[in-house]
Copies of this chain bind each other. A is one copy, B any other.
Amino acid sequence: MATTILKGTVISAPSLGKLDITEGGYLVAVDGVIQGVYKTLPREFASCPVEDMGNDLILQSFSDMHLHAPQYPMLGMGMDMPLIDWLHTYTFPTEARFRDTDFARETYRRLAAELVANGTTRVCMFSSLHREATLILMEELEKAGVTGFVGKVNMDRNGGVDLEETTEESIRETERWLEECHFEHIRPVITPRFTPSCTNELMEKLGQIAGEKDLPIQSHLSENAGEIAWVSQLHPDCRQYWETYAKCGMWNERTVMAHCVWSDERERKAIKDAGVWVVHCADSNQNLISGFAPVRKMLKEGIKVVLGSDIAGGDKISMFDVTAASIRSSKARRIMDNWNTDFLTVSEAWYLATSAASDFFGEKPGFAPGNPLHAIVLRDDDIISVRKLTAAERFERCVYNRQKNAIRAVYSAGRKVYSAQ
């Protein structure tokens, strides 16, 4: 039995807005599984080696619940364009490059390393439509120590010449991809790009595959007014966007929908009733001028909200930055709502970036016993302060302000996957 004991200022988010803080605490894992956080080391671990992190913060690592791996090479580009133009000018041509497996290998190796170095150890991620590149992505994530879900994208319409499959191809390649997925920590998720990219026939078949193989589903929902109008034109039989997924068996408690910026009361009720996950992508929604998602309202209604970097609509891989962006977005929403909605506090946004997704991964919120060890060790001793800060203040500050090489180590599924030089 391999025991890992990390000593430091242990902070986790057991529920929305709550922090568990143990200064000089011990975070103990056996065979990669968390046993508990202790103020005093239990006698049974007395003979085990302790990694003493001194005054460093020991935090939960992040879950990035929406990002597009093949858009990594266009991070920060095309930001002056609205969604649909941006897709056709930058995104689709970039994704089309991933038929080249060497380019895919190099790009995904770098992306995986950057995710881990930034403390993102769980993802729900889009690949491109290419089966081979998707397997390469999964392999590189697994090697680097990123866990979670990756989807080969399906798109049999409106992708242009270079980024479209026939319906048959899309289904055949999906089935073949699913057969070839043999990874320990990276699992497949069914991924129709979004309704305008998939015919009804394809959607229905994907819904069927997801049902038969008990797979989660991810896609996009109600990001942008133009997109919603397009969907409505394509599906006159559906009253709302979400119904285009629901009618194909893709609307359940393992469905992950990015954005939901414009989901009105009726759509939100459908989300809530089905237990669908909403991924809030604050920077992306602001960059592409999509709007400000009513996150606070969704939380109040009991909708499961998590966060996504949405690279490359978002421009920040670091989930520290994504956390700050979601706070800022909630403040923008407050301004728009004439100060009638609350903003997200730092600890609330942090919860959304970490614990909120735990159930999706079969875990419990926070550093709960039984969870696999996913953690970040963060140093902040090189930031000047006017006085000794409380642990809560240090925690709050790190969301906005971190020193160079602040992340000292990252643990994923019990394994140390990153160590600062």
User: Interface residues, chain A, CB within 8 Å of chain B?
Assistant: 72-77, 79-80, 93-94, 97, 103, 106-107, 110, 283, 286-287, 289, 291-292, 315, 324, 327-328, 331-332, 334-336, 339, 343, 345-346, 383-386, 389, 393, 396-401
Contact = CB atoms under 8 A, between A and B. Distances in A.
Given A72-B384, A384-B110, A400 B292 contact: no
Contacts of A327: 79
B75 A401 contact: yes
Most buried by B among A286, A339, A396, A398: A286
Contact of A400 (B79, B383, B386): B79
B400 A331 contact: no
Contacts of A76: 396-401
9 contacts: A74-B385, A74-B386, A75-B383, A75-B397, A76-B400, A77-B389, A79-B327, A79-B396, A289-B343
B385 A73 contact: yes
A322 B172 CA distance: 47
A386 B73 contact: yes
Closest CB pairs A-B (n = 9): A76-B400, A76-B401, A315-B400, A76-B397, A97-B386, A75-B401, A289-B331, A73-B384, A286-B328
A291 B346 contact: no
A336 B93 CA distance: 32
A381 to B, nearest CB: 13
Nearest to A98: B386
B286 A80 contact: no
B384 A77 contact: no
A34 to B, nearest CB: 29
A292 to B, nearest CB: 7
Given A77-B396, A289-B339, A291-B335, 13 more contacts: A73-B385, A74-B385, A75-B397, A79-B346, A80-B345, A80-B396, A93-B386, A283-B328, A286-B328, A289-B331, A292-B332, A332-B332, A332-B335
A346 B80 contact: yes
Nearest to A324: B315
Contacts of A400: 75-77, 79, 315
Nearest to A328: B286
B335 A292 contact: yes
